[in-house]
Amino acid sequence: MTEYIFDLLKLILPAALVLYGMYSLVNNYLTKEYQKRILELRMKNSEVVLPIRLQAYERVCLLLERITPSNLLVRVSSAGQSAAEYQRVLLAEIREEFNHNVSQQMYMSDQAWQMVKRSKEEVVTLINRVYHELPENAKGTDLAKRVLENILATEKEPTGSAISFLKQEINQVF
């Protein structure tokens, strides 16, 4: 009986080793093929996503440029408005610009989007702070003048650091 088991092992063991070797080869081949296909898919994906990401960064830079106080005040006229009316118009314009571009956050880093939000809040805070410093009967032109004076005094646009950050981040892609 022992001899029979020994003969059986002589037959089964080489067959098991061959099967294991074949399994290992097939498994390695399939794993490499899977990785290759994933890489190909990522490459195709990047061909599609990269232009969309670039467009998102462009749009967000445009948003920041449009809400930069010096540009915003030139674009949105204060003619004939009280300071209170002009403040409401400016804040509505900022909100509209921001809401129009909020979906672009999908294509940029969380840190970049946080910088954009912070810049928007700094512009809103600046406008509100200057408005509350004005006398009650002030005109829209007074608000515009004081906001610009404030920016000149600090020598810093509230959106400048976010724009620089976005440029740096997109330059890392290239």
- Can you read off the two tokens belonging to residue 103? 């979906």
33-47, 58-72, 109-123, 149-163: least confidently modelled range = 33-47
Question: What is the overall mean pLDDT for the chain?
Answer: 90
Contact of 74 with 144, CB cutoff 8 Å: no
Compute the average pLDDT of residues 55-82. Answer: 94
CA distances from 12 to 6, 8, 166 (A): 10, 6, 65
Contact of 117 with 67, CB cutoff 8 Å: no
Model confidence at 94, pLDDT cuts 50, 70, 90, reads very high
Tell me the C-alpha distance between 141 and 79, whole Å: 7
What is the pTM assigned to this prediction?
0.74
- The pLDDT value recorded for residue 169 is 92
Tell me the C-alpha distance between 108 and 111, whole Å: 8
